[in-house]
Amino acid sequence: MYTKYGCVIKYSSKIDKDVTKYLGVPYAQPPLGAYRFKLLIPLGDKYYGNNCFDAKQLAKSCLFKRKPVGFAGIDVWIPKESDMKKKWLQLNIWVPRKTTSAVILFIQGTLYTKGSASLPQYRRDVLASKSNAIVVSFNYRPGALGFIQLLNKTFRPGNVGLLNQQITLKWIYENIGYFGGKKFRVVLFGHDSRTTAVTAIYFCTGQ
Protein backbone atom coordinates (compact mmCIF):
# COMPACT_ATOMS: atom_id res chain seq x y z
CA MET A 1 0.00 0.00 0.00
CA TYR A 2 1.43 3.38 -1.03
CA THR A 3 0.65 6.55 0.94
CA LYS A 4 1.81 10.14 0.89
CA TYR A 5 4.61 9.18 3.27
CA GLY A 6 5.74 5.95 1.62
CA CYS A 7 4.86 2.29 1.28
CA VAL A 8 3.12 0.31 4.06
CA ILE A 9 3.03 -3.52 4.21
CA LYS A 10 -0.39 -5.02 5.01
CA TYR A 11 -1.35 -8.18 6.92
CA SER A 12 -4.50 -10.29 7.21
CA SER A 13 -6.39 -10.33 10.51
CA LYS A 14 -6.08 -13.61 12.43
CA ILE A 15 -9.66 -13.21 13.65
CA ASP A 16 -11.28 -12.43 10.29
CA LYS A 17 -9.40 -13.22 7.08
CA ASP A 18 -11.62 -10.77 5.18
CA VAL A 19 -10.07 -7.89 7.15
CA THR A 20 -6.69 -6.40 6.26
CA LYS A 21 -4.73 -4.65 9.00
CA TYR A 22 -2.03 -1.99 9.01
CA LEU A 23 -0.60 -1.69 12.51
CA GLY A 24 1.70 0.78 14.24
CA VAL A 25 1.78 3.25 11.34
CA PRO A 26 3.41 6.59 12.37
CA TYR A 27 1.20 9.67 11.92
CA ALA A 28 3.62 12.29 13.32
CA GLN A 29 7.26 12.52 14.34
CA PRO A 30 8.03 11.32 17.90
CA PRO A 31 8.05 14.20 20.44
CA LEU A 32 11.47 13.46 21.90
CA GLY A 33 13.84 15.63 23.91
CA ALA A 34 12.95 19.31 23.77
CA TYR A 35 9.72 18.49 21.90
CA ARG A 36 8.26 16.27 24.62
CA PHE A 37 5.68 18.87 25.69
CA LYS A 38 5.49 20.85 22.45
CA LEU A 39 3.30 20.71 19.38
CA LEU A 40 3.80 17.77 17.08
CA ILE A 41 5.96 17.90 13.99
CA PRO A 42 4.13 16.49 10.94
CA LEU A 43 5.69 13.71 8.91
CA GLY A 44 7.79 14.69 5.93
CA ASP A 45 7.22 13.24 2.47
CA LYS A 46 8.52 9.67 2.20
CA TYR A 47 8.98 9.56 5.98
CA TYR A 48 8.59 5.77 5.93
CA GLY A 49 11.80 5.57 3.89
CA ASN A 50 12.78 3.91 0.64
CA ASN A 51 11.81 0.51 2.02
CA CYS A 52 8.20 -0.29 2.92
CA PHE A 53 7.07 0.24 6.53
CA ASP A 54 6.35 -3.16 8.10
CA ALA A 55 2.90 -2.59 9.68
CA LYS A 56 2.90 -5.82 11.68
CA GLN A 57 3.05 -4.68 15.32
CA LEU A 58 0.21 -2.87 17.09
CA ALA A 59 0.75 0.80 17.86
CA LYS A 60 2.79 1.32 21.02
CA SER A 61 1.28 3.28 23.90
CA CYS A 62 2.49 6.59 25.24
CA LEU A 63 4.56 6.43 28.40
CA PHE A 64 2.60 7.12 31.58
CA LYS A 65 2.75 6.01 35.20
CA ARG A 66 1.15 2.58 35.48
CA LYS A 67 -0.82 2.03 38.69
CA PRO A 68 -2.28 -1.49 38.76
CA VAL A 69 -4.72 -1.92 41.64
CA GLY A 70 -4.87 -5.72 41.67
CA PHE A 71 -8.43 -5.88 40.33
CA ALA A 72 -8.68 -7.49 36.89
CA GLY A 73 -11.70 -5.43 35.83
CA ILE A 74 -9.62 -2.25 36.18
CA ASP A 75 -6.10 -3.45 35.42
CA VAL A 76 -7.21 -4.85 32.06
CA TRP A 77 -7.35 -1.25 30.79
CA ILE A 78 -3.69 -0.61 31.62
CA PRO A 79 -1.24 -1.61 28.86
CA LYS A 80 1.80 -3.71 29.68
CA GLU A 81 5.16 -1.97 30.04
CA SER A 82 6.40 -3.88 27.00
CA ASP A 83 3.64 -2.22 24.96
CA MET A 84 4.83 1.29 25.85
CA LYS A 85 7.70 3.19 24.24
CA LYS A 86 8.96 6.69 23.43
CA LYS A 87 8.10 6.49 19.73
CA TRP A 88 4.38 5.95 20.12
CA LEU A 89 2.64 8.43 17.77
CA GLN A 90 1.18 5.59 15.77
CA LEU A 91 -2.20 4.39 14.53
CA ASN A 92 -3.82 1.09 13.58
CA ILE A 93 -6.07 0.57 10.55
CA TRP A 94 -8.44 -2.32 9.80
CA VAL A 95 -9.93 -2.51 6.30
CA PRO A 96 -12.76 -4.98 5.49
CA ARG A 97 -12.82 -6.62 2.07
CA LYS A 98 -16.32 -5.30 1.38
CA THR A 99 -15.93 -1.74 2.58
CA THR A 100 -18.52 1.02 2.24
CA SER A 101 -15.64 3.56 2.27
CA ALA A 102 -16.92 4.92 5.59
CA VAL A 103 -14.30 5.44 8.31
CA ILE A 104 -14.73 4.95 12.07
CA LEU A 105 -12.13 6.77 14.17
CA PHE A 106 -12.01 5.38 17.69
CA ILE A 107 -10.59 7.57 20.48
CA GLN A 108 -9.52 5.52 23.48
CA GLY A 109 -8.58 6.45 27.01
CA THR A 110 -9.67 6.76 30.62
CA LEU A 111 -9.92 10.04 32.55
CA TYR A 112 -7.40 11.68 30.19
CA THR A 113 -4.61 10.00 32.16
CA LYS A 114 -4.01 6.61 30.54
CA GLY A 115 -5.09 4.26 27.79
CA SER A 116 -3.98 2.46 24.67
CA ALA A 117 -5.32 2.11 21.14
CA SER A 118 -4.03 -1.45 21.03
CA LEU A 119 -5.79 -3.16 23.95
CA PRO A 120 -7.12 -6.55 22.75
CA GLN A 121 -10.59 -6.13 24.26
CA TYR A 122 -11.52 -3.40 21.77
CA ARG A 123 -11.63 -5.98 18.90
CA ARG A 124 -11.52 -3.44 16.07
CA ASP A 125 -11.17 -6.13 13.40
CA VAL A 126 -14.59 -7.46 14.43
CA LEU A 127 -16.04 -3.95 14.25
CA ALA A 128 -14.61 -3.51 10.76
CA SER A 129 -16.04 -6.84 9.61
CA LYS A 130 -19.52 -6.25 11.06
CA SER A 131 -19.84 -2.61 9.98
CA ASN A 132 -18.07 -2.87 6.59
CA ALA A 133 -16.32 0.35 7.59
CA ILE A 134 -12.62 1.10 7.89
CA VAL A 135 -11.69 1.31 11.58
CA VAL A 136 -8.82 3.46 12.85
CA SER A 137 -7.45 3.66 16.40
CA PHE A 138 -4.48 5.71 17.53
CA ASN A 139 -2.34 6.70 20.50
CA TYR A 140 -1.67 10.23 21.71
CA ARG A 141 -0.28 12.04 24.75
CA PRO A 142 -2.35 11.46 27.93
CA GLY A 143 -1.88 12.91 31.40
CA ALA A 144 0.73 15.60 32.00
CA LEU A 145 2.37 15.01 28.62
CA GLY A 146 -0.85 15.88 26.82
CA PHE A 147 -2.93 18.12 29.04
CA ILE A 148 -0.64 20.06 31.37
CA GLN A 149 -1.14 23.83 31.21
CA LEU A 150 1.45 26.32 32.50
CA LEU A 151 1.78 30.08 32.17
CA ASN A 152 4.71 29.80 29.77
CA LYS A 153 2.88 28.69 26.62
CA THR A 154 6.06 28.80 24.55
CA PHE A 155 7.62 26.08 26.70
CA ARG A 156 4.35 24.24 27.50
CA PRO A 157 1.64 25.18 24.97
CA GLY A 158 -0.96 23.04 26.77
CA ASN A 159 -3.79 20.83 25.50
CA VAL A 160 -1.47 19.08 23.06
CA GLY A 161 -3.37 15.84 23.67
CA LEU A 162 -6.34 17.23 21.74
CA LEU A 163 -4.00 18.63 19.11
CA ASN A 164 -2.56 15.11 18.72
CA GLN A 165 -6.07 13.94 17.89
CA GLN A 166 -6.45 16.69 15.30
CA ILE A 167 -3.13 15.73 13.70
CA THR A 168 -4.46 12.18 13.41
CA LEU A 169 -7.55 13.48 11.63
CA LYS A 170 -5.29 15.39 9.26
CA TRP A 171 -3.35 12.19 8.50
CA ILE A 172 -6.61 10.39 7.79
CA TYR A 173 -7.83 13.24 5.60
CA GLU A 174 -4.64 13.05 3.52
CA ASN A 175 -4.16 9.28 3.38
CA ILE A 176 -7.35 7.29 4.01
CA GLY A 177 -8.16 7.34 0.30
CA TYR A 178 -5.18 5.04 -0.30
CA PHE A 179 -6.88 2.46 1.94
CA GLY A 180 -10.25 2.70 0.20
CA GLY A 181 -11.86 5.20 2.56
CA LYS A 182 -13.46 8.57 1.93
CA LYS A 183 -12.18 11.55 3.90
CA PHE A 184 -15.64 13.13 4.09
CA ARG A 185 -17.18 9.99 5.61
CA VAL A 186 -15.34 9.88 8.94
CA VAL A 187 -17.28 9.18 12.15
CA LEU A 188 -15.68 9.74 15.58
CA PHE A 189 -16.57 7.93 18.77
CA GLY A 190 -14.84 7.65 22.10
CA HIS A 191 -14.56 5.39 25.11
CA ASP A 192 -15.07 6.66 28.67
CA SER A 193 -13.93 10.29 29.04
CA ARG A 194 -12.94 10.42 25.38
CA THR A 195 -16.56 11.05 24.47
CA THR A 196 -15.88 14.62 25.60
CA ALA A 197 -12.80 14.69 23.35
CA VAL A 198 -15.05 13.87 20.40
CA THR A 199 -17.28 16.81 21.33
CA ALA A 200 -14.25 19.11 21.64
CA ILE A 201 -13.03 18.12 18.17
CA TYR A 202 -16.42 18.84 16.62
CA PHE A 203 -16.39 22.34 18.13
CA CYS A 204 -12.80 23.14 17.11
CA THR A 205 -12.31 25.77 14.42
CA GLY A 206 -9.32 26.86 12.40
CA GLN A 207 -7.53 23.49 12.64
CATH of the domain at 125: 3.40.50.1820
Q: How many domains does the chain have?
A: 1
The C-alpha R_g of the chain, in whole angstroms, comes to 16
More confident site: 92 or 167: 92
What pLDDT is attached to residue 153?
57
More confident site: 135 or 113: 135
Report d(CA 186, CA 177) in Å as an integer: 12
Q: What end-to-end distance do the CA atoms of the chain give, in Å?
A: 28
Which range of residues forms the domain containing residue 23? Answer: 2-203
- Encode pLDDT of 63-117 as tens digits: 666 676 676 666 666 767 666 666 778 999 999 999 999 999 998 876 676 677 7
Q: Could you give the percent of the chain with pLDDT greater than 70?
A: 77
What pLDDT is attached to residue 150?
65
What mean pLDDT do residues 44-66 have? 80
Q: Cβ(189)–Cβ(104) under 8 Å?
A: yes
What mean pLDDT do residues 12-28 have? 89
Q: Pairing state of beta strands 11-12 and 90-96? A: unpaired
Is residue 20 scored above 90 in pLDDT? yes
Q: Where are the alpha helices (DSSP H) in the chain?
A: 72-75, 124-131, 143-147, 160-175, 194-203
